Amino acid sequence: MKQLITILFIGLISLSINAQEKKAKIKFKAETIDYGTIEKGSNGVRVFEFTNNGEAPLIISNVRSSCGCTVPNWPKEPIMPGKTGEIKVKYDTNRVNPIRKTITVISNAERPTIGLKIKGLVVDSNANKASILEKKSKSIVQQ
């Protein structure tokens, strides 16, 4: 009887060890998105696509950005092994300046914290047009 209990106990321990080895693995199509040069007020939504390449459901517990001008949206339900998902990021394009932001993804994956990046430049096309007109008028006055 003691041998049977010992064998069952060892079997349960080895099953729990094997279950712990199964992990979710998050693989992003790209970890950086380049907006390029975009105009003020244009669409600031971009999507980071990912796949769970692991053997366990992927649970994203939190996604946060380095600034309030960038708002992430992520799936709250588990992503099953082999399935894909997306993290949508909305940048406030009413700010005329370079874009250099980090979006931190926290999950139960083998790599539990991942830093995604967005970059680019927001320009004000109206300001550029005014600057060109100002330069033209200065050159006319100088002549």
Q: How sure is the predictor about 21, in pLDDT bands with cuts at 50, 70 and 90?
A: confident
At 90-137, the pLDDT tens digits run: 999 999 999 999 999 999 999 999 999 999 999 998 765 545 445 444
Q: Please report where in the chains the tokens 């309030």 appear, as a residue.
A: 68
What is the dihedral sign for C-alpha 112, 26, 99, 63?
A: negative
Q: Which CATH superfamily is domain 23-124 in?
A: Immunoglobulins (2.60.40.10)
For the chain, give every domain's residue range. 23-124
At 68-94, the pLDDT tens digits run: 999 999 999 999 999 999 999 999 999
DSSP letter string, 66-117: SSTTEEEE---SPBPTT-EEEEEEEE-TTS-SEEEEEEEEEESBSS-EEEEE
